[in-house]
């Protein structure tokens, strides 16, 4: 039997990269998936791919940093789907720059999307999960949230905050049968990392014991573990998927 049969999953940032890989992995394992992306084009593209796998899919264009938009989408999702079993908070952005040159806007954009967006979506679905006495919440953090990185103080702060948020939510909701965990990807082949200069890529590879960047599929596999039956007794944890970069 498929691991996620008869389950409804909501994946933010599902239009590309890690989010798309997670959405497709969940669909391949029997879940019906709500694809959330900033643009209707990207969300519908992901939903169409899931539909091609024979699963139900819904497309929502939502700015995760907009609480009113998130609440409206959550209400519609629950009305259309009847429930939400799995929530993956994956939507994220970067606005890199050295601390002394970083604008208030760049700081706010990253914290609002990466951290506040997870807060909005988790809060919006928590009541339904509590009522159902079941649920899996998976927040996509980053190794940068564990070790920091020059030129990414905003990104590191948002991803570190996401870990603390995850652990707090895990403690609050465990009594209702709901798990909350974080995944901390290392350097993964995505649109973000494709913009790295060759010398930067070489420098990063020297820090990775396995000697290569990961794939979005690697993160999707970790998400499936946490969402499936094997992750039943795992909560409040950070699963680092980074080729050994952080030990």
Supply the residues annotated as catalytic.
155
Which residues partner with 214 through β-bridges? Answer: 188
The answer to whether the CB of 75 falls within 8 A of the CB of 34 is no
Estimate the share of the chain in helix, then strand, then coil, as percent rounded to the nearest 5. Answer: 50, 15, 30
CB 45 within 8 A of CB 124: no
Q: Give the C-alpha separation, 222 to 242, whole Å.
A: 11
Among candidate residues 241, 191, 223, 239, the one with its CA nearest the CA of residue 87? 223
């Amino acid at each position: 039997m498929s691991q996620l049969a008869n389950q409804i999953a909501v994946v933010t940032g599902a239009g590309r990269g890690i989010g798309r890989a997670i959405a497709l992995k969940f669909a391949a394992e029997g879940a019906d998936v709500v694809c959330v992306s900033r643009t209707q084009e990207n969300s519908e593209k992901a939903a169409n791919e899931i539909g091609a796998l024979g699963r139900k899919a819904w497309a929502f264009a939502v700015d995760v940093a907009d609480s009113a938009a998130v609440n409206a989408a959550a209400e519609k999702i629950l009305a259309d789907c009847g429930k939400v079993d799995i929530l993956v908070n994956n939507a994220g952005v970067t606005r890199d720059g050295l601390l002394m040159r970083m604008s208030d806007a760049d700081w706010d954009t990253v914290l609002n999307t990466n951290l506040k967006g997870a807060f909005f979506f988790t809060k919006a679905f928590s009541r339904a999960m509590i009522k159902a006495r079941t649920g899996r919440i998976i927040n996509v953090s980053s190794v940068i949230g564990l070790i920091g990185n020059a030129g990414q103080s905003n990104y590191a702060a948002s991803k570190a905050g996401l870990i603390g948020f995850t652990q707090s939510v895990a403690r609050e909701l465990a009594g209702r049968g709901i798990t909350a965990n974080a995944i901390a990807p290392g350097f993964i082949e995505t649109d973000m990392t494709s913009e790295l200069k060759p010398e930067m890529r070489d420098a990063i590879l020297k820090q990775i014991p396995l000697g290569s960047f990961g794939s979005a599929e690697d993160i999707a596999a970790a998400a499936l573990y946490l969402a499936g039956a094997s992750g039943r007794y795992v909560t409040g944890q950070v699963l680092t998927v980074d080729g050994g970069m952080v030990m």
